[in-house]
Amino acid sequence: MIRALRRRFILGAMLALAILLLLLNCGVIAGSYLQMERRWDQTLERLMEMPDVGARPEPPMENPREPKDKLALFGYEIPAHGPQEAYYLVRVDADGGMEVDARGVAETDEAALQAVVHEILASGEAEGKADMYKFALRRMEDGGALVALLDNSAPLQALLGMLGPMMIANALGLLGMFLILLPLSKRMVRSYAVNIEKQKQFITNAGHEIKTPVAIIQSNIDAMELIQGENKWSRNIRGQVERLRALLNELLALARLDEGRGEQKRTQVELGALVAEAIEAERERCAARKLCVRSEIAKEICLRGDARGLGQLVHALLDNAVQYADAGGWIEVKLEKSGRRVRLTLRNSVSRLPDCPPERLFERFYRGDSARTQGTAGCGVGLSAAQSIVEAHRGRIALRYEDAHTVRVSVELPI
């Protein structure tokens, strides 16, 4: 058990750290991109404020006392005297002629640049993105236009280049977390595991100890009825003793399931035969309550699992359906194969649904209010035991209310 708890603890901590690192990385990338977008917008605004192509103003003297223009993210500064990125300023005259001023750009492909400018002019948009450029367009009074194109390919490549170091840093962080948790996890889960073991041992010991006085009470009732005859008080005591005996058996079964999880003997089990056997065992009870049982069981459905546990699973589900179905109602049992999984479905009619969400019925010793009013002897352990068996076989179990008078339990197990 300690090994299983350590594995779950380490996996949970590693998963939490991985999610945290992912969120931080996404935040850094998104923040950096927003920062660049804002810087590009400010650069284009300053380019549009320039009087004309070739009129490159001299940068003014900086006053150290003047506050610098800083971005909200990471405090990146843009000098007040002008942009620092590589850009083009293109002056388009009324006849379509172009004059290009390339500042900070190593090479200029005139044909490609002119194609981009024509695309921008045809779109009619004042700003946006074209090809690998972020642009701004200003119409001139003489019919021409001034187009500013900002080459943002290099900053984007640098931003993407951050992903590699980030992934390496994340991997190292996860590895360091694993190495730290490996020696500490055993100490951290030991006390929890010891408490669970003590609780299981207490249930097992208490169950066996209580069996003796229950058997003595049963014998005394039998002797009393032989001498004085049966009466309503003896019948009441006998009923409560039987209920206590059933509760003890279910508690011991749960304790065995918890203790033996992972130690079951796995063999090839024909689940259809187990379902048919369980239905046949419940025939008498169903007849006493006038329940109509309909079954649809596929043949030769085999899976690898614990035969005893799977038998307990089928009996627990069918027993639960018989207990809580309304008298004169119906029960449907269906076993089918779906791909690499086996699906077992039980549906039964009820006069009134339990006054609780369906998932609460899997809690130990919990029963819905409507179940208590039906006069059944259930202890609220059957579905919990069924859930433990299904989880031990890496399957899924679900309960839902189909309508106001129908309850459905479905189990899926891997073949």
Q: What is the pLDDT of residues 18-56, one digit of tens each?
A: 999 999 999 988 888 888 888 888 888 887 776 554 444
Q: Indicate if the pLDDT at residue 89 is higher than 70.
A: yes
Give the pair of three-digit tokens for residue 7. 């594995």
Please give the span between the terminal C-alpha atoms of the chain, in angstroms, as a whole number.
25
User: For 132-159, what is the mean pLDDT?
Assistant: 82
- Global pTM reads 0.52
Structure confidence at residue 376 as a pLDDT band (50, 70, 90): very low
Higher-confidence position of 209 and 85: 209
pLDDT value for 366? 65
Buried b (16+ CB within 10 A) or exposed e, 22-61: eeebeeeeeebeebbeebbeebbeebbebeeeeeeeeeee
Give the pair of three-digit tokens for residue 198. 């003590």
pLDDT value for 349? 92
Structure confidence at residue 67 as a pLDDT band (50, 70, 90): very low
Percent of the chain clearing pLDDT 90 (strictly above): 11
